[in-house]
Structure 1
Amino acid sequence: MWADACEMLARAERLHRQFFEPSRAASRLPAWQPPADVLETEREVLILVALPGVDPDAVEAAIEDGTLFVAGVRALPPELRGAAIHRMELPQGRFERRVPLPPGRYNAAVRRSFAEGCLLVRLEKAG
């Protein structure tokens, strides 16, 4: 009976890891959408996207058909991948966000920077 109980606990742990551990291979399908703010000044539009724990070099940002497209992956650091998860509220995996831009024309350059866990995209208005 003790052996059966231990086997059931081991099986439960394996199932937990299978369904709740972030995938090691990033899927091309987005798993979550980060929140974003859009602000406009006289000369530019600023988009602030919350991306805590995301590697800035792994974030894609581009203008496509009047929207700002932002995509990338948020993954646990390698040293934490074997840790027991007690609570996980920050989403993991591939993210993608399309933010509609205010009407107008913008210069082709998408200037971006990271500050305090957020991606800041600056779009200069044309003309």
Structure 2
Amino acid sequence: MDPFQNMQDWRKNMDRFFGENFWGEFEGIMKPPIPHINLYKSDNEILCYVSIPGLDDIDKVDVYVDYATLEIRGVISLQPQHHQLVHEEILQGSFERKIDLPYPVRGDKIHASYKNGLLIIQLHRLIHQETSKNRIKIRSIED
């Protein structure tokens, strides 16, 4: 008996019992997130290395920063023309990653470049301006 067929049968039974969308809840667990990311920090700078192989058009990737969150969206497509996929280990398809940054970053000082399959994003720490103490004048209210 084929063990893979047993697994498919088991999966179909689970779908019938729990509903068609049962496996959708586990997709993030069963599939590793793409693209793979390395995040490095210093006192005032964050470097984010994003593995995006075969990117031929940088306009297919969007990078957003909001305070202390980095969001990357795009498509990884490696399918050569006139060929059929036989074995897949390099993950591909549409992706969306949200990364919590170790500290807030400046929205006006972000640099991104793509070279040798790596998207490199350079972010600078948001330094809060010193605020001075302001004395509040108290007024007397007469009855």
Same fold (TM over 0.5): yes
Which residue pairs with 1:53 in the alignment?
54
SS in 1 for 2:109: coil
Which residue pairs with 2:102 in the alignment?
102
Q: State yes or no: 1:33 paired with 2:16.
A: no
CA deviation string 1:83-114 (max 9, x = no partner) = 12221211221011111101234243321001
* RMSD between superposed Cα atoms in Å: 2.3
Change (3 A) 1:64 1:104: closer
Gaps of 5+ in 1: 1-30
Off by >3 Å, runs of 4+ in structure 1: none
- TM-score, with normalisation over the residues of structure 1? 0.64
- Provide the rounded CA distance (Å) in 1 between the counterparts of 2:39 and 2:100: 9
Q: Which has the larger radius of gyration?
A: 2
| 8 Å contact from structure 1 (residues 107, 125) kept in 2 | no
- Provide the rounded CA distance (Å) in 2 between the counterparts of 1:107 and 1:85: 41
Q: Which residue identity lines up with residue 69 of structure 2 in the other structure? A: T
1:124 Cα offset (Å): 1.4
CA deviation string 1:27-76 (max 9, x = no partner) = xxxx8521111111233111111111123232100113521000101113
Change (3 A) 1:125 1:103: closer
SS in 2 for 1:106: strand
Structure scoring higher RCO (CA < 8 A, sep ≥ 6) equals 1
| 8 Å contact from structure 2 (residues 49, 118) kept in 1 | yes
Q: Which residue identity lines up with residue 47 of structure 1 in the other structure? A: C
SS in 1 for 2:96: strand
Identity %: 27
- TM-score, with normalisation over the residues of structure 2? 0.57
SS in 1 for 2:106: coil
| 8 Å contact from structure 1 (residues 110, 121) kept in 2 | yes
Which residue pairs with 2:78 in the alignment?
76
- Provide the rounded CA distance (Å) in 2 between the counterparts of 1:105 and 1:74: 27
SS in 1 for 2:59: helix
Which residue pairs with 1:115 in the alignment?
115
Q: How many residues align?
A: 96
| 8 Å contact from structure 2 (residues 105, 123) kept in 1 | no
